[in-house]
Structure 1
């Protein structure tokens, strides 16, 4: 037998730039990045795709982008700026993936060029996936426009679309070349979308950073009241925790553990069971509450700790129960656990709480206790 052993490493690095009014002609952050990236002898092309919800609230945006790129000889802006739906619809319906791929082809976006997605997390997921499979990977830039995408999903390395009724069944691990977090986009968010993303900060604080959890408790009312300086600090600290975990751990999830998905196994199923009536961040808040109560029932955290978590989430404005959790004697939820195990690659690994600020991985779930946790969760409606 003959064997050729091969091993290599590919370094990845990208910046998350925090700014405001990115496409103001006075703001040179974006142009400076593009001009200095890669081989400066090539003329770079750039294609923009915008979440329709963002385009509706920021009608000036396409024209602002065109004005921003006027006179830039080194960077050729594609003449069309695509606008398509955001939310899970853009990940559920393959026509939007096809539209993105056709545009990449039509405008000659090659490996020296860029695809830019402006939108929420689901929109960034789809455009990132299209970018990764075109030409085996063209460079993509993320401009997240929601709290959730600025503090979590938009600063990570995952891209994907839904398929066969399963969330992110098709996807890649491929980092963007840059992320630009523009706080101006947050001003136009609805109260639901403003609130929704904070659940990801609660999640990462609970499993990694007790002082950050305590900071969230102290500042929950200020965030609920839409105070921008506090929200900006939350986003920065949450994004830092998420990216630090990715870079120091298992960025492409070669193993079975996904500690950053604390509260997500139930959240993913709940999104489908509610026909996506529930936002992702709202479902995550419910999942966090459920797994926190389950951790209490296992004797890992105290009733006082569990109550603090519930109080924080309710102060932020979350409703922590949905009727679909209990449907079919909670067997739909059990199915969600099995789907999560399959997504991980065979062995169930979920994160629960060992204590506030520290997660614990387990490979089995006492479903009778989990059903009791659902019943306890319903009491939070009172």
Structure 2
């Protein structure tokens, strides 16, 4: 006897992305309301060491805030401080510490893990939360431009393994995302700038008006004006959320339009031992794929010049020595493998419009690298 029973079901996901300031002031109840499960929620905080160092008062603020809202939630243990950046994702001991805490402190599926930090720490903590008890409620509090407008609002979590970025990971939506713009005030210039590359990315493939807004506001953004940065973050986050709500939020297919510029970026990060930050690598990756699009005859030289001008005016490098042909080709193959076998790369047909291709010409890739090298040299001479 042969039988086939086919099951089909859908699960709605809803989570708020909140933009606020001074979230640990007792009068600001956004976080307390998120952590209130109706019976005194249990919360465990994991904090990026870079954030803890820059904000030495933060741990005490968390404790004071919890005491002020004791009827809504309680801290189940001292906050855990973990290294910031890719170090938190490269060494499994840190995600294991979070998993161990769920065991030691009885953190269950009705409890909350609150991650405060940049995108890498949020990725790592999210992975630990997703695999513990098959999913513990995760509240993300992103503290960088890159995490507030991109990584924290999405459904991905992960750690690095086998020398590959995000090799181990899950698709698990957060319980909530709570952005505090005040964390941006203490970023160094590199971290302030890095997140803007993700906005350039999504604008170039989806929204000409947004790209032209970034173009018009590039000087203000580079000068660290807060009002345009807030606008950029909210607008970019909304576009990422709109994409997630589309047809393939868990990336079951090979189409990953939001990875425009990323196939090379991931390899550059790894080759530089993560001295190149993600947003910096993405900026160079966007420049590379835009230049390739021009050499392929897909966009005009004037369109390429506008893209390069925006990237450069924001202070990004256009070229780095790790952009060698052999390593890039290896990165392209790893990206194909990551997609499940079929290579799918997003290129540009004009500003604001992306088009997927399934093969890349190695000769044109090398030519694009050389052109970026020339762009970078011209920029150094001009300065």
Length-normalised TM-score, structure 2: 0.97
Query: What is aligned with 1:349?
Result: 344
The separation in 1 between residues aligned to 2:281 and 2:73, in whole angstroms, is 41
Helix, strand or coil: the match of 1:351? strand
1:40-87 deviations in whole A, cap 9, x for unaligned?
Answer: 2x3321000000000000111111011111151341212310001010
Q: How many aligned residue pairs are there? A: 375
Q: In the alignment, what sits opposite 2:55? A: 58
Which position in structure 1 is the counterpart of 2:222? Answer: 224
Per-residue deviation, residues 139-175 of structure 1 (Å, max 9, x unmatched): 1010000000000001000000000000000000000
Match of 1:14 in 2: 15
Q: Which of 343, 355, 368 matches 2:363?
A: 368
Could you say what secondary structure the match of 1:70 adopts?
helix
Structure 1 runs (4+) deviating above 6 angstroms are: none
Q: Which residues of 2 match residues 312-351 of structure 1 at below 5 A? A: 312-326=310-324, 330-351=325-346
Q: Which residue of 2 aligns with 1:187?
A: 185
Residue 177 (structure 1) aligns with? 175
In 1, distance between residues paired with 2:95 and 2:19?
28
* CA distance in structure 1 between the aligned counterparts of 2:41 and 2:280, rounded to whole angstroms: 39
Q: Deviation at 1:301?
A: 0.4
Structure 1: distance between partners of 2:5 and 2:308: 55
Number of the residue aligned with 2:27: 26
Query: Separation in 1 of the partners of 2:57 and 2:159?
Result: 29
- 1:199 aligned to 2:200? no
1:75 & 1:373 partners in 2: Cα distance? Answer: 54
Cα deviations by residue, 1:93-130 (Å, 9 ceiling, x for unpaired): 01111111111211111010100000000000000000
Is residue 311 of structure 1 aligned with residue 341 of structure 2?
no
1:288 alignment partner, SS class:
helix
**Distance in structure 1 (CA, Å) of the matches to 2:123 and 2:211:** 28
Question: How far, CA to CA, are the matches of 1:301 and 1:375 in structure 2?
Answer: 18
For the residues of structure 1 that align with 2:214 and 2:224, how far apart are their CA atoms? 14
Matched ranges for 1:16-95 at <5 A: 16-35=17-36, 37=37, 40=38, 42-71=39-68, 72-95=70-93
User: Where does residue 4 of structure 1 map in the other structure?
Assistant: 5
Tell me the SS of whatever aligns to 1:131. Answer: helix
Conserved 8 A contact 2:43-2:75: yes
**Contact 2:290/2:348 (<8 A) preserved:** yes
CA deviations over 1:334-356 (Å, ceiling 9, x no partner): 00000000001010001000110
**Aligned counterparts of 2:35 and 2:49: Cα–Cα separation in 1:** 25
Equivalent-residue separation in structure 1 for 2:141 and 2:72 (angstroms): 21
1:323 is paired with a residue whose SS is coil
Aligned-pair CA distance for 1:32 = 2.1
1:197-346 equivalent positions in 2, closer than 5 A: 197-326=195-324, 330-346=325-341
